[in-house]
Amino acid sequence: MNSITIRSYAKINLGLLVKAKRPDGYHNIETIFIPIKLSDKLRLKKIAQGIRIKIPNNKAKLPKGKTNLAYKAAELFFNKTKIKKGVEITIEKNIPVGAGLGGGSSNAAAVLQGLNCLFNQPLNKKELHNLALQIGMDVSFFLIGAACYATGRGEILKPFEIRRLNVILYFPGFPIITKWAYSKLKSQNSKIKGERILTNGGLSLKILRKKLVKDDLSDLQRLIQNSFEDLVFAHYPDLARIKEFFLTHGAYAASLSGSGSAIFGLVDQKNISTLKTALKRNKIKAVFTESIGS
């Protein structure tokens, strides 16, 4: 096999709580990752040496060098396996950049899995997981590809089964940089002694996870808490209005995904047409997709 094509799926966060600062300078988090069918398409082709990144119609002006997470994933793979070959990676982007949908991390996970397949599985699951942790804390989640309750920096994962969810996504056309969001959140909470950022009153998403496992979707809106919402909505009030629009026109839950900028809604099948009509009437562009899983 000389080449392989693989899908790189996005995610949403059903809640994201930023908790205590760690000795390493990062913060513990608690979140529920849900993979969704919105995806990029990656083609990996063997070449004699080196790593080449191609991004057709690169409107977001993504880097093609070492700062691209797909490049970093390939570099780590070849360093670990000592394989004396190279790869050309073509990325067809559909996942918005800087939207809180995990596009870059998903690309990295897809490259690790694709290269491992292309070169006859030289790495086991644990070795792939260890490489993923060197790229980003949510890359391991994309290797699993199922709903996960995540703690630590996002790398401690507990997969669980969930019913298929109908998802609507709104992307405002601009990114929110995660580093900026964390720095602003730190400033917002700087009066808390000991630099402990305990937002949302120290709430937990464990109850939400238990309800999802039991296939109980009642009261989800109250349970989906995101530490970044107040901050992001204060800077971008239109995003708060989109969230409210979703809830008013048929969604049973809606939230910021990650640190933004995308807003997602969850909607029953029977309400999709109503929501689509409202979106069209108000000239709001959104994407309908669904979760991946059982």
CATH code of residue 43: 3.30.230.10
Give the model's confidence band at 276: pLDDT under 50 very low, under 70 low, under 90 confident, else very high: very high
Q: Domain end: 159, 174, 204, which one?
A: 159
Of residues 214 and 199, the one with the higher pLDDT is: 214
The answer to whether the predicted template modeling score (pTM) of the entire model surpasses 0.75 is yes
Residue 222 pLDDT greater than 70, yes or no: yes
Rounded to the nearest integer, the mean pLDDT of the chain is: 92
Looking at the structure, do residues 128 and 179 belong to the same domain, yes or no? Answer: no
Residue 287 pLDDT greater than 80, yes or no: yes
Looking at the structure, do residues 221 and 274 belong to the same domain, yes or no? Answer: yes
Residue 124 pLDDT greater than 80, yes or no: yes
Q: Domain end: 143, 159, 175, which one?
A: 159
Return the pLDDT at 59.
82
Q: Which residues span the domain enclosing 30?
A: 3-159
Looking at the structure, do residues 34 and 142 belong to the same domain, yes or no? Answer: yes
Looking at the structure, do residues 180 and 115 belong to the same domain, yes or no? Answer: no
Q: Domain end: 159, 176, 210, which one?
A: 159
3-state secondary structure the chain: CCEEEEEEEEEEEEEEEEEEECCCCCEEEEEEEEEEEEEEEEEEEEECCCEEEECCCCCCCCCCCCCCHHHHHHHHHHHHHCCCCEEEEEEECCCCCCCCCCHHHHHHHHHHHHHHHHCCCCCCHHHHHHHHHHHCCCHHHHHHCCCEEEECCCCEEEECCCCCCEEEEECCCCCCCHHHHHHHHHHHCCCCHHHCCCCHHHCCCHHHHHHHHCCCCCCHHHHCCECCHHHHHHHCHHHHHHHHHHHHCCEEEEEECCCCCCEEEEECHHHHHHHHHHHHHCCCCCEEEEECCC
Looking at the structure, do residues 246 and 149 belong to the same domain, yes or no? Answer: no
Which residues does the annotation mark as catalytic?
Answer: 11, 138
Give the model's confidence band at 200: pLDDT under 50 very low, under 70 low, under 90 confident, else very high: very low
Looking at the structure, do residues 174 and 153 belong to the same domain, yes or no? Answer: no
